[in-house]
Amino acid sequence: MVEGGSAVSGRTGGGLLVAGTTSDAGKSVVTAGICRWLARKGVRVAPFKAQNMSLNSYVTLDGAEIGRAQAMQAAAARVEPSALMNPVLLKPGSDRTSQVVLLGKAVGEMSARGYFGRHTDGRPRQGRREDLLETVVGCLEELRRTHDAVICEGAGSPAEINLRRSDIVNMGLARACRLPVVVVGDIDRGGVFASLFGTTALLAPEDQALLAGYLVNKFRGDVSLLEPGLEMLRGMTGRPTLGVLPFQHGLGIDEEDGLRVSLRGTVGESAVAPPHGADVLRVSVLRVPLMSNFTDVDALAAEPGVVVRFCDSAEELADADLVVVPGTRGTVRALEWLRARGLAGALARRAAEGRPVLGICGGYQLLGERIEDDVESRAGLVDGLGLLPVRVRFAPGKTLARPHGRALGEAVEGYEIHHGVAEVLGGDGFLHGDGGEPLDGCRVGTVWGTHWHGSLESDGFRRAFLRRVAADAGRAFEPAPDTRFAALREQQLDRLGDLIEEHADTGALLRLIEKGVPEGLPFVPPGAP
């Protein structure tokens, strides 16, 4: 491993698995924080998540689709995202099925029973888990060959005993690659000692032999009050707690799913920086079913004076200056939802009144005249909302791209992830090439649509777009001239690195990464079979 250009040890390719007692315990935050802390020390580090279930995804430079959280962790590590960092991505399409993305490419839809490899009578299928484990281990080993350290993130809990036979992301990966494991517990939920002890005691002896310590996350208050419990936990398990991370508001990272904090405060709350101009701008984001890449609105929430909230009723749109219809993995299902809730009519009234609406990816598609879908929903020909002169046909192959162009006189970059192919039959173009040729999207009056995710992260375009929205909405709002979204994101990643550097036992973490699993970790009964 390399630290500031000097050798820490003669071995390269160390690794660590960050597991959690539950989903949302803070695995993504801790993984990103360790990556940023190591990167600042001059260590060549990469993130890794063998299997991710998320509707928030990203496109690498070579056109591979991976989880958005792994792209964020790559930014924390100061490396370019790669499909190697997230070889298996599951994108839910219903309660029972998901699209399987393998090494960056969609390979089909699969039920949970089919994915986890079981016959209809419950007997395990042969080969499925082994094939996937071989793939993810190969990707991890490739990263370890080219980096000093790889920080792996688990999924859910490693103590899901019903899924242990098919596990390739938690202890299954750790055992295959002999990775030391640190378990993160969220004390803000309560019961952190029971969660950490119970997680350990539910692991098989061979898995427990890899569990080297704990991290307590989201602590509020005096750490000295927690220390007696930490000592008792060590006495019962033989494992140390390697840090107590304080609760911090506004970390603003790209998580897997669920609405979380923005760069300037909690989305939908009043923790918004004062406006640069005389007025605020209110943005309502429709909480459509199977919402994907809601990170698109982070850049709006980062603007002083922009209030972003997520809504699911027509009444909540009444005072909105801009309504955003975000991406979705179920465009036809979202259309039905909009109509059932009266939101389709509310959007039509907004368009007729000249009040701004922005559709992104799936949201753009449902604003069009019609959708021909024999791929995602298999619903055939479906009428859209008719607010844009656009017809969409779903193709079997998925468009994955990192385009760039211009809009409103400003440079724009984004990324595309969609099956729908849009035929624009009128209106004005939205995004253009450097020569003025149309690239994507459509605008009619105050209704805008584009397939490009991430376009609002382009500072100049975002300001120009918000000025246009403010003018159409009659608001005396002026974007701040000095908001730099990329710089804000870097500040947040540094905050994650600070969390680890200031509140974790970094010496112990380095020893685990470099030297692997310590010998003699005791067994905590009863253990799983």
Is residue 453 part of the annotated active site? The answer reads yes
> Of these residues, 139, 177, 311, 361, which one is catalytic?
361
* pLDDT value at residue 253: 64
Q: What is the pLDDT of residues 375-431, one digit of tens each?
A: 888 999 999 999 999 999 999 999 999 999 999 999 999 999 999 999 999 999 899
* pLDDT value at residue 529: 80
The pTM assigned to this predicted structure is 0.91
Of 496, 509, 494, 517, residue with least CA distance to 215 = 509
* pLDDT value at residue 115: 60
Domain architecture of the chain: domains with CATH: 2-251 (3.40.50.300), 281-486 (3.40.50.880)
Phi-psi region of 147 (alpha: psi -120 to 50; beta: other; left: phi over 0): beta
Residue 305: CB atoms within 10 A of its CB come to 22
* pLDDT value at residue 124: 43
Q: Who contacts 434 (Cβ-Cβ below 8 Å, separation ≥6)?
A: 405, 406
- What distance in Å separates the CA atoms of residue 68 and residue 52, rounded to the nearest whole number? 10
* pLDDT value at residue 125: 46
Q: What is the pLDDT of residues 247-298, one digit of tens each?
A: 987 765 655 554 443 444 334 343 578 888 889 999 999 999 999 998 999 9
Record the tokens describing residue 163, joined without a space. 């899924």
Q: How many residues does the chain have?
A: 529
> Of these residues, 147, 451, 453, 503, which one is catalytic?
453
Record the tokens describing residue 28, joined without a space. 């993504």
Instruction: Decide if 19 contacts 181 (C-beta within 8 A).
Output: yes
Instruction: Decide if 373 contacts 331 (C-beta within 8 A).
Output: yes
Residues of the chain with pLDDT below 50 are: 2-12, 118-127, 258-270
Is residue 311 part of the annotated active site? The answer reads no
CB-based burial label for 419 (10 Å; 0-12, 13-18, 19+): buried
Backbone angles phi, psi at 21, to 5 degrees: -70, -25
Strand order in the sheet with 370-373: 380-383, 370-373, 390-401, 416-424
Q: What is the pLDDT of residues 164-177, one digit of tens each?
A: 999 999 999 999 99
* pLDDT value at residue 13: 67
* pLDDT value at residue 74: 98
The residues pairing with 102 across neighbouring beta strands, listed in sequence order, are 88, 105
* pLDDT value at residue 113: 61
